[in-house]
Amino acid sequence: MKQILLLSCLVFVLGSSYCDRRSTGQQNSVLGQYELSAHDNSGRLVFTGTISLTSLEQNHLKGQCVFLRQKNAPENLQDESGVCGGEMDGKKISIDSAPFLDDAGLILEGQFDNGRITGKWRIDGFVTSGPLGNFDAMRKK
């Protein structure tokens, strides 16, 4: 009887660790480096860059981002390079280019699907803007 109980516990522990590894692997599939392009609501290219997502702990993302202003960019949009952070909830993702400041930087909000992040971008300021356009970030291979 003790052997059956011990064997049952062992099967349960192994099964639980397998499920836990599988779900972690799926969450970490968002990690990696992405090439970014963003357009305004008229379809003009306003910034490009890279997003390098390096860690996902619970639902908090951390990484490095580079945003390069293009000629059609709004005046209050500047080149940015440095630490970025965000959150992930299922397939929904939000990235903040200035996670330690309350009113600075770019906010990217969208969906993650098969190595691609797409959505809307806006500028975070004293009054955060509404969506100013669309972005597309493709994972580098």
Q: Are residues 70 and 111 in the same domain?
A: yes
Residues with Cβ < 8 Å from 123, sequence gap 6 or more?
74, 76, 77, 105, 106, 107, 129, 132
For residue 64, what pLDDT is reported?
97
Q: Are residues 24 and 61 in the same domain?
A: no
CA distance 72 to 87: 29
pLDDT digits (tens, 9 = 90+) for 60-112: 999 999 999 999 888 878 899 999 999 999 999 999 998 887 666 899 999 99
Q: Are residues 77 and 115 in the same domain?
A: yes
- Give residue 141's pLDDT band: very low, low, confident or very high (50, 70, 90): confident
- Look up the domain containing 83 and give its range: 31-139
pLDDT digits (tens, 9 = 90+) for 3-46: 555 445 455 554 554 444 334 444 458 999 999 999 999 999 99
Q: Are residues 89 and 22 in the same domain?
A: no
- For the chain, how many structural domains are there in total? 2
Question: pTM of the prediction?
Answer: 0.76
